Amino acid sequence: MCAYSLQPLFLSFKIYFPYHYHFKMAFNLCLKIFLVLFSILNLYARTATSRDLQELSMLERHEKWMARHGRVYKDEIEKEHRFKTFKENIEFIESFNQNGTQRYKLAINKYTDLTSEEFLASFTGLDTSLSQQESTAAITSFRYGSVTEVPLSMDWRKSGSVTEIKDQGVCGSCWAFSAVGAIEGAYQIANNELISLSEQQLLDCNTENRGCEGGLMTRAYEYLLQNGGGITTETNYPYQQAKSICSTQQLSPTAAVTISGYEVVPAGESSLLQAVANQPISVGIGANQEFHLYGSGIYDGSCYPKLNHAVTVIGYGTSEYGTKYWLVKNSWGTSWGEEGYMRIARDIGVYGGHCGIASMASFPTV
C-alpha cells in the first residue's frame, strides 16, 4: 500500500473510492514509517559527522603531541599503528580520570603512543634474578635501626640533596639511575656539595650487571667498592642510552665521589622510614600500566606482581586529606608524573609497602 502513500494520489483515490478508508489508514501508517526512517537516517548522519569530527580532533591532538615531543615515525604504517595506540591510551586516560574516585590522575606524556607492554619492556630494568648470585661481603648491619624519632615529613630536594630529573631513555638502566641518585644524595648530605654523577660509568664498566638489559643497585655499589669506590661526574662521562666499552679515559684520575660501603634496609616500611629520614634510598617497585601513564596525586592503584623497576625515594609526607605517601624520584624525564616525581601511598597495610617499595631497599655510605 506504500506505493499509494503520496498525498495527491491518495486524494484522487479518495474521490473514486470514498468508502475505502483503509487507503487513508495505509497512508498514515506509511507516513509514520517514512518519518521514523527519516529520523533514523538523520541521527545516523549526525552521529557519523560527530564521530568524524572526534577522529579529526584526535588526529590533530596526535600531530601536536608529535611536534611537542619531537616524535618521528619511519613510515605511514608505523604512524598509523602509533596513532591507534595513542588514541587507545587517550581514551583510557580520560575514562579513568572521569571516574574521579582515585587519589591520583593519569596524564598524557611522551610515552603515550606506546603500549604498556612496550613501555615496561624498554623503560624499566630491575633484574631481581641477579640477587640470588649477589655477594654480601660489603653489607653491614642497618645503622638506622635504632632511630626512634623521625620528622613528620621529609623532602631531600629542599636540602639541595637531589639533582635534576634525568631520563634513562630506551634502555633498562633504571638500576644505575637509582644507585646514582642515592650516591648523589649521600655525598651532598655529608659534604654540602651536590654533584651530578655518571650513570654511564655504571652502565659501561659494571660487568656484574647487564647494562640496558637490567641490573641491581647493590651490584652497582659493589662494582664501585671493588674498584676503589670512586664514580666520576655526569659531565665527564655523559649518558648515552646504550651500553658501550668502559672508557678509562673518561674516568678521571681522582673520582668525584667515593663510597665507603653500602647497606641493605630490612624489609618493611618502618625501616624504610628510618632510612629515608636520614638520606635518599634506592628501592625497587612493581610498575604496571598505570605507572606508564601516571600524571599526579598519590598512587594507590594496581601494581606489577613483581619488582621490575628501580627508583630513588627522596622523602615522605602526608597529604592535606591525611593520606601518607612516599616521594619518589624517577628516571623517565620531566613530562612523566609530577615533573618527573611520583607520590606512592604509604602505610596502607601491605607487606613490603605498596607496589613492594619497601621490600628491596639499599643505600651507599660515603
Query: Which residue is catalytic, options 205, 330, 354, 355?
Result: 330
Please indicate whether residue 330 is annotated as part of the active site. Answer: yes
Residue 315: name the closest of 354, 343, 336 by CA.
Answer: 343
Number of Cβ within 10 Å of residue 79's Cβ equals 17
Which DSSP string corresponds to 12-42? HHHHH-TT-HHHHHHHHHHHHHHHHHHHHHH
What is the torsional sign of CA 76, 78, 80, 86?
negative
Residue 336: name the closest of 168, 141, 208 by CA.
Answer: 168
Please indicate whether residue 212 is annotated as part of the active site. Answer: no
Distance, CA of 188 to CA of 218 (rounded, Å): 20
84-93: Cβ within 8 A, 24+ apart: 85/113, 85/114, 85/115, 86/58, 86/62, 86/112, 86/113, 87/58, 87/62, 89/113, 89/293, 90/58, 90/61, 92/293, 93/293, 93/295
Q: 218 φ, ψ to 5°?
A: -65, -30
Please indicate whether residue 174 is annotated as part of the active site. Answer: yes
Q: Which three cell numbers stand for residue 285?
A: 617497585
Distance, CA of 202 to CA of 246 (rounded, Å): 9
Query: Which residue is catalytic, options 171, 174, 205, 212?
Result: 174
The secondary structure element, H or E, covering residue 329 is strand 324-329
Which DSSP string corresponds to 239-285? --SS-----TTTS-SS-SEE--EEEEEPSSHHHHHHHHTTS-EEEEE
List the catalytic residues: 174, 309, 330
